[in-house]
Every structure is written in C-alpha cells, then in structure tokens.
Amino acid sequence: MTATKRTPAKYQPKGLTVLYEDKDIIVVEKPCGLLTIGTERDKSRTVHSILNEYVRKGDPRSRNRVYIVHRLDRETSGVLILAKSETAKIFLQEHWQETDKRYLTIVHGSLAPKVGTISSYLAENSAFTVYSTPDPARGKLSHTEYTVLKEIRGFSLLEIHLLTGRKHQIRVHLSEKGHPVVGDTKYGRGKDTYGTLALHARSISFTHPVSGKRLTFETGVPDFFTRLVGKTEAPADREQIPETEKARDPGPVPKQH
C-alpha cells in the first residue's frame, strides 16, 4: 500500500501522532484529555477539528475533510481510525464487527476468574451516566472480554478485548464488577487520587476499505501504566497476522510527528 507523501512540518497535526496515512484513511494515537469530536455541550479543540485542519493543509477553501469512524472517551488514550471519504467511513463502520479492538487498563483489586467475559444491557440516564439494566428493551447488549496480565500492589493490569463498543462500556462493566478503572472519577470509588484514567486503546486490526488488506496498529504502554504496575509485555497468544499484511511498523514515510 502506498502512503501519502510527508506533509510539511507546519501542517502537522499538533497534539496527535499520525501512525499511518494514505489517500483513504488516517490512523492516529490520541492522548488522554482530548475529545474525538465536539458535542453540543463542548465545542473545544478535538481530534476531528485538528485533523480537518491537517488535511486542508492551511487552505480554508479546501473541501478535504475527515470522517469519524469510531470514538474514544476524552479520558481514554490510544489508536483511532478516521476516514478521508464517506465511502471509506461507511465501509469501516459496516465491517466494524470484524475489527479487533484491544485495550489495556489498570483496575483496583484482584479479579476472579482471571479470564472472563462481562455481559449486560447498557443504558444511559438523563445525567449521561451509563449503567446496566436487566431490561433488554431499555439497554443494548454489550460484551467485554478481559484477561488479567499482572497483579501488584492492589492493582490488576488487564487486556480488554472489546466485543461491542458502547459508550463507557469498559468502565461501567469493570466498576459494576467491583473493580473500577484507576483514575475513573465518574464510575470509580469516591475520590480517586489518580488524575489520569488508566484506559488505553492499545491495538486495532481492521480491513482496509479499498485495498482489502488486513492492517494492525499497536501503540506502546503509557508511562502512567508503567509507574503503577511496572513493565509489561503483550499477551503471547495474540492473533497472528501474516507479515505481508502487518502495518504495526508503517516505516518512516507514513509515520509523521
């Protein structure tokens, strides 16, 4: 696959790391604290607005734009895919169930069992708080698969395989299980003294909307995680993808800072 030419430094997206870019998609690493797209209540600078400026390269008359394929919560860091056309966006969303999404998170306490799937119907109340309901008519069925990777000092490091993608799904499921995400002031235990949410979209694997190739992007472990639980390695049984179809290291051309 041919990536786009390197963009002049003055047009680089400030506050985002571009992991890969071609004429159809752009993959970035979002930092915590940045919204994916603005809301009616919050019109602050977002991934969407930053990348719209980036693809227009300083030309306000340009019709270039990016399209939101999926979202990460403001407090969640990690890999995010955006499309450069309506057609690419629709393809990615229609094939979203085939997209493999892996997160790392640190929670309070020790989980039992060490591997499992949390399932419930998730709904949202008028205060924008998500919760589980026994009523299928009120909520959307959601599944969160987890594996405990490490336990230390009252914390558990988990790999999450997100089988569905509801708002606040990981945070709600783990909190309701009695193990809230570290730094979660909304669903956590009272006053959480950790100022950073320990939730990171570590990797994503998906089918390219034009080439049809399977691409995988994986980021490093955030420093905040290392400070809490020490160094960690990714699970050894991760789905293996043929070397010719990997995009884990896009190389010097598509990777832009």
Closest to 74 measured CA to CA, from 16, 29, 35: 35
3-state percent helix, strand, coil for the chain, nearest multiple of 5: 15, 30, 50
Is 73 among the catalytic positions?
yes
Please check whether residue 225 is in contact with residue 101, taking contact to mean a CB–CB distance below 8 angstroms: no
Cβ burial 36-47 (10 Å sphere, 16+ → b, else e): beeeeeeeeebb
**How far apart (Å, rounded) are the C-alpha atoms in residues 139 and 213?**
35
What are the structure tokens assigned to 146, written together? Answer: 């987890």
Residue 195, both tokens: 């100022």
Kindly state the tokens that stand for 46: 């977002």
Judge if the upstream peptide bond of residue 113 is cis by omega within 30 degrees of 0.
yes
What does the alpha-carbon distance between residue 246 and residue 44 come to, in Å, rounded to a whole number? 35
Q: Count other Cβ atoms within 10 Å, centred on residue 71.
A: 16
- Pick the catalytic residue: 22, 24, 59, 73? 73
- Unique residue bearing structure tokens 């030309």: 59
Continuous segment of H or E residues that includes residue 156 = strand 155-162
DSSP annotation of 86? H
Look at the alpha carbons of 151, 154, 159, 161 in this order and tell me if their dihedral is positive or negative. Answer: positive
In whole angstroms, give the CA distance from residue 154 to residue 200.
20
**Residues classed as catalytic:** 73
